[in-house]
Structure 1
């Protein structure tokens, strides 16, 4: 009977691979999708912050507070997406240059912010873009690559965006 020899714990290890039952190719494909989601979340966070800072109008206070709640929620999503990528053994993107290379959302690059309703509609459309991407691309990629954990995680993120989009839509009436 052969016995396996274990490496001594004191032996220096430079990197431990994530051995979680997924092939490296599968983890890479899912991580690529998650990094794209991360880029979109970061752009949406930045746009929501900008609108929060610059909104004006008769409903200033309520919209200002709504957007504050939303950018805080998006900030949590950003952290969770990055941590999910790390759980798969890959690195999260972290620069505007990297994000810009894979993002789907458009940046709001004008100095002045439009009227309240336009702000709410633009943010709602961005949330809906993320929802569609999660539903049509990111969850199917996770499913195809046997990553049930990421599929479940993405379903939760999608539901958060559905709620935020609903709040924005309801505020335009």
Structure 2
């Protein structure tokens, strides 16, 4: 991990590196999910167009704000924030979307799975953040887990209809 500057805190440096690396993966997942959600917002068609178009817009706007919070937390911890497609592709646990837009309900399914994966990535970092007493990172991640789980539930409910 390349640190930008020395962090003046009582956070354990070796474990802080583990937390930073996990945050970078979570940032990549969040950005990838943002991009996928925005893509689906643009390309959704069918009888549920209006409701899905609106739902996806709410979701991608929320994700856009989250990307900034996660990146700023990385900077606060003394790291850089990855920001290229290449870096995100290497770090994310989310699969890329098909070249051709899928059907509307497949979009919903892919976003549900993406939110579940993002929550899983965040959940993996929480114990390390808590171990070093990094409550700010832990709080950010726990908040994001709640958002991703709620969105996944809403998308699952949409599929059930």
TM-score by length of 2: 0.91
For structure 1, which runs of at least 5 residues remain unmatched after alignment?
Answer: 1-14
Mapped to 1, the partners of 2:154 and 2:68 lie a distance apart of 22
Mapped to 2, the partners of 1:36 and 1:169 lie a distance apart of 24
- Which residue in the other structure is 1:142 paired with? 129
Mapped to 2, the partners of 1:121 and 1:74 lie a distance apart of 17
Q: Which has the higher helix share?
A: 2
> Contact 1:30 / 1:145 at 8 angstroms: preserved in 2?
no
Q: Secondary structure at the match of 2:105?
A: helix
Mapped to 1, the partners of 2:5 and 2:96 lie a distance apart of 38
How much is the aligned-residue C-alpha RMSD, in angstroms?
1.4
- Which residue in the other structure is 1:90 paired with? 79
Return the match for 1:131 from 119, 131, 153: 119
- Which residue in the other structure is 1:122 paired with? 110
TM-score by length of 1: 0.85
Q: Secondary structure at the match of 1:110?
A: coil
- Which residue in the other structure is 2:54 paired with? 65
How far off its partner does 1:145 sit?
A: 2.8
For structure 2, which runs of at least 5 residues remain unmatched after alignment?
Answer: none
- Which residue in the other structure is 1:110 paired with? 99
Listed one character per residue, the Cα deviations across residues 105-129 of structure 1 (whole Å, up to 9, x for unaligned) are 0010312x22221110110011011
- Which residue in the other structure is 2:31 paired with? 42
Return the match for 1:169 from 146, 156, 160: 156
Return the match for 1:160 from 147, 150, 155: 147
Mapped to 1, the partners of 2:117 and 2:5 lie a distance apart of 36
> Contact 2:23 / 2:122 at 8 angstroms: preserved in 1?
no
Q: After TM superposition, which residue ranges in structure 1, 4 or more long, deviate above 4 angstroms?
A: none
How far off its partner does 1:47 sit?
A: 0.6
Q: Higher mean Cα deviation, 161-170 or 50-59?
A: 161-170
